[in-house]
Amino acid sequence: GESVGLHLPTLSVQEGDNSIINCAYSNSASDYFIWYKQESGKGPQFIIDIRSNMDKRQGQRVTVLLNKTVKHLSLQIAATQPGDSAVYFCAENRDNQGGKLIFGQGTELSVKP
């Protein structure tokens, strides 16, 4: 399954499928990007980050892609599991802003067993 557009708040996928969550960021000066996962009643949990001098970074079952030309970020989750169900936020940062992150709206991922 794949989310499209800037403001699609929900994404529903079948267990075992790959998920793609998209995010458009606002500031061309941003040089650091992070994906967070937030489960109900909990704080955001760091998933993966990428700096602007890279266009792809892989973690365990997750891959982040960065397209600076169109200011677009995506999170790919391989073999999506029920435990992946959560809201996913992208966040952007510039070095001179320290840890001051600008968060996107978020996408709710629902995994059907």
Partner 1 sequence: DTGVSQDPRHKITKRGQNVTFRCDPISEHNRLYWYRQTLGQGPEFLTYFQNEAQLEKSRLLSDRFSAERPKGSFSTLEIQRTEQGDSAMYLCASSVRSQELNEKLFFGSGTQLSVL
Q: In the complex, which residues of this chain contact partner 1 (CB under 8 A)? A: 9, 31-32, 34, 36, 41-46, 49, 51, 89, 91, 93, 95, 98-106
Q: How far is the CB of 103 from partner 1 (least distance, A)?
A: 3
Nearer to partner 1, 19 or 30 (CB): 30
- Per-position DSSP letters for 5-64, written without gaps between them: SS---EEEEETTS-EEEEEE-S-TT--EEEEEEE-TTS--EEEEEEETT-SEEE-SSEEE
d(CA 82, CA 65): 23
Q: How far is the CB of 13 from partner 1 (least distance, A)?
A: 20
Nearer to partner 1, 14 or 28 (CB): 28
Radius of gyration of the chain (CA): 13
Q: How far is the CB of 46 from partner 1 (least distance, A)?
A: 6
